[in-house]
């Protein structure tokens, strides 16, 4: 798991091999969503669709500008049976989506807000190179060093944006961040841990790297497989690539195979205190809300 604050961190201006397009950057003026204890009413900035699916909150995922040539909203059930390819429109036409859907795009990457976020912040980093982005992610990241290094570089641009957004929304609840505000010279800013990695057996075709807060507290988290896909070895941190030659995960056990299914169907354990909830999903959800609150207060 790649935590923010690692040694890879460097300045935003040094990162991109091509200038981000106009809508790539989150302007401070866009960050108008007020800090919230619970959820705030209608947010307006690029980090606004963070919690819960648009469907759950009736904050409809903004549609691309309507025109007969536009691709369909990838969220709507309008273009199955090709649902496995539903990330393709973001890769092909990133510019037509509002910043509440596409956070940032460069010639090499598109970063979107997950349409069914499984935690408070949940982004998907999509590599655009069509020669590698439909390979199995374990294979792709193990055998294409340039993909791996450019992905890690892009992550180093994204994590500070996420940190900033978390501090803006929740910093006032954080003991550390409050101490920092009082004594900026002696107390460093809070650094929130992030989980960054892939699923051992993704359902969607196009390579996507999850960037997600660890709280697992979101209305779109609806069953045990959702939870376990981020909290067991089914989740493979980006920092684990390239894998050792004998890493057992190179077999990329998937949900169709015994070893992958075992993770998804196993007992659920709290990410924070380790408590085993067995298959009691509702009880876990309730517990996760409390854990989130305590975690934010750290």
Ligand X SMILES: Nc1ncnc2c1ncn2[C@@H]1O[C@H](COP(=O)(O)O)[C@@H](O)[C@H]1O
Partner DNA sequence: GAATCATAAC
CA distance 117 to 54: 9
Q: Is 8 or 270 the residue whose CB approaches Zn ion more closely? A: 270
Shortest gap between Cβ of 266 and ligand X (angstroms)?
17
Segment 212-231, which members bind DNA (CB under 7 A)? 220, 222-226, 229
Residue 197 interacts with ligand X (CB under 6 A): yes or no: no
Q: Is 168 or 281 the residue whose CB approaches DNA more closely? A: 281
**Is the Cα torsion angle 14, 154, 62, 220 positive or negative in sign?**
negative
Segment 125-184, which members bind ligand X (CB under 6 A)? none
CA distance 68 to 72: 9
Residue 73 interacts with Zn ion (CB under 5 A): yes or no: no
Give the one entry of Zn ion, ligand X, a second copy, none that residue 239 binds, where binding means its C-beta sits below a cut-off of 5 to 8 angstroms depending on kind: none
**Is the Cα torsion angle 107, 110, 111, 113 positive or negative in sign?**
positive
Number of residues that bind a second copy (CB under 8 A): 18
Give the one entry of ligand X, a second copy, DNA, none that residue 251 binds, where binding means its C-beta sits below a cut-off of 5 to 8 angstroms depending on kind: none
Give the CA distances from residue 37 to residues 40, 52, 105, 124, in Å, rounded to whole numbers and listed in that order: 8, 16, 31, 25
**Is the Cα torsion angle 16, 19, 25, 28 positive or negative in sign?**
positive
Asked if 122 and 114 touch (Cβ cutoff 8 Å), the reply is: yes
Segment 229-248, which members bind a second copy (CB under 8 A)? none
Residue 101 interacts with DNA (CB under 7 A): yes or no: no
Asked if 206 and 85 touch (Cβ cutoff 8 Å), the reply is: yes
Helix (H) or strand (E) holding 263: helix 258-265
Q: Is 16 or 213 the residue whose CB approaches Zn ion more closely? A: 213
Return the structure tokens found at 197: 């990695």
Q: Is 12 or 297 the residue whose CB approaches a second copy more closely? A: 297
First to last CA, the chain: 20
Give the one entry of DNA, Zn ion, a second copy, none that residue 220 binds, where binding means its C-beta sits below a cut-off of 5 to 8 angstroms depending on kind: DNA
Return the structure tokens found at 242: 């390239």
**Is the Cα torsion angle 73, 194, 233, 244 positive or negative in sign?**
positive
CA distance 90 to 180: 38
Segment 227-286, which members bind Zn ion (CB under 5 A)? 270, 272-273, 275
Q: Is 242 or 278 the residue whose CB approaches DNA more closely? A: 278
Positions that interact with Zn ion (CB under 5 A): 270, 272-273, 275, 291
Positions that interact with DNA (CB under 7 A): 53, 55, 77, 80-81, 83, 116, 199, 202-204, 220, 222-226, 229, 255, 265, 279-283
Positions that interact with ligand X (CB under 6 A): 74-75, 86, 112, 114-116, 118, 124, 199, 202-204, 208, 229
Positions that interact with a second copy (CB under 8 A): 37-41, 55-58, 60, 219, 282, 285-290
């Amino acid at each position: 798991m790649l935590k923010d604050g690692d040694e890879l961190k460097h300045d935003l201006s040094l990162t991109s091999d091509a200038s981000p397009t106009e809508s790539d950057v989150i302007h401070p003026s866009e960050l108008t969503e007020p800090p919230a204890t619970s959820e705030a009413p209608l947010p307006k900035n690029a980090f606004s669709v963070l919690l819960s699916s648009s469907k759950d909150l009736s904050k409809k995922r903004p549609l691309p500008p309507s025109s007969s040539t536009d691709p369909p909203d990838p969220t709507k059930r309008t273009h199955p049976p090709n649902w496995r390819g539903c990330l393709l429109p973001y890769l092909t036409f990133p510019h037509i989506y509002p910043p509440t859907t596409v956070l940032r795009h460069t010639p090499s990457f598109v970063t979107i807000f997950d349409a069914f976020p499984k935690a408070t912040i949940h982004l998907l980093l999509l590599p655009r190179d069509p020669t590698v982005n439909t390979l199995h992610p374990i294979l792709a990241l193990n055998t294409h060093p340039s993909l791996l290094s450019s992905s890690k570089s892009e992550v180093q641009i994204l994590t500070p944006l996420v940190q900033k957004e978390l501090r803006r929304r929740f910093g006032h609840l954080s003991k550390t961040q409050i101490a920092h505000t009082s004594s900026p010279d002696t107390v460093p800013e809070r650094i929130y841990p992030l989980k960054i990695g892939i699923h051992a057996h993704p359902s969607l075709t196009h390579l996507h790297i999850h960037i997600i807060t660890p709280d697992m507290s979101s209305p779109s988290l609806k069953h045990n497989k959702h939870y376990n896909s981020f909290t067991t070895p089914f989740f493979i941190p980006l920092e684990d690539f390239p894998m050792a030659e004998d890493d057992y995960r190179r077999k990329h056990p998937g949900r169709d195979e015994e070893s992958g299914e075992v993770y998804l169907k196993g007992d659920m354990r709290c990410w924070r205190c380790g408590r085993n909830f067995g298959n009691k999903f509702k009880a876990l959800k309730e517990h996760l809300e409390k854990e989130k609150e305590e975690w934010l207060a750290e």
